[in-house]
Amino acid sequence: DVKVTQSSRYLVKRTGEKVFLECVQDMDHENMFWYRQDPGLGLRLIYFSYDVKMKEKGDIPEGYSVSREKKERFSLILESASTNQTSMYLCASSFVFGTQYFGPGTRLLVL
Amino acid sequence: DAKTTQPPSMDCAEGRAANLPCNHSTISGNEYVYWYRQIHSQGPQYIIHGLKNNETNEMASLIITEDRKSSTLILPHATLRDTAVYYCIVRVVNTGTASKLTFGTGTRLQVTL
């Protein structure tokens, strides 16, 4: 079975803090993705990576950065958290043309 | 990617078949139909996908019309654990970098006793 894990299920941070969200997959997938999900807006792609050290912006990259130093790990970084970044964050991975498999999600609250 | 249209909600009695429709009238020849579901507060779970032939796996069956403008996801014997939001997604599997998934608002399926 494909396993995608995320470092935290729930996270509470203060405005201005630097936040790291970690995602690990165990299927040797080339592609990894970060989405955020908000009520009424569906899933929106923040960034994705198609190889180690390679990344591309998604639809809403502002305020975020990413890091992929190893194939199995993809990190999402909020450089200075703001209240409008309160959301559910979902990581996914896939082979190059394959089905995306999602992690359990991290619900982030920025106060 | 083609837009999809799904009913906002459906009910199904436990043990009966749940038939979830999806319209994708602007689908292109190289676009697949994917189905995911999301149980409350969890990440989306992949169910099934197809191009033009009907597909079946251990979770569900996918019926795609001959003109490919619509499809139906069938859960043959729904249980309470199938209560979730079901998303129909049309996706190009291209030769470039990975294509994103565009989730709409989906169908909220409520399975009842």
pLDDT tens per residue, range A29-79: 999 999 999 988 888 999 999 999 999 999 899 999 999 999 999 999 999
CA distance A53 to chain B (A): 14
**B102: nearest CA in chain A?**
A43
B9 part of contact set with chain A, CB < 8 Å: no
Give the model confidence (pLDDT) of B98-110 as tens digits. Answer: 567 778 889 999 9
Q: What is the pLDDT of residue B104?
A: 82
d(CA A94, CA B72): 25
Closest Cβ–Cβ partner in B36, B43, B94 for A103: B43
**Phi and psi, residue A17, nearest 5°:** -70, 155
Over range A16-35, report the average pLDDT.
95
Inter-CA distances, B70 with A39, A107, B10, B25, B113, Å:
26, 34, 17, 7, 29
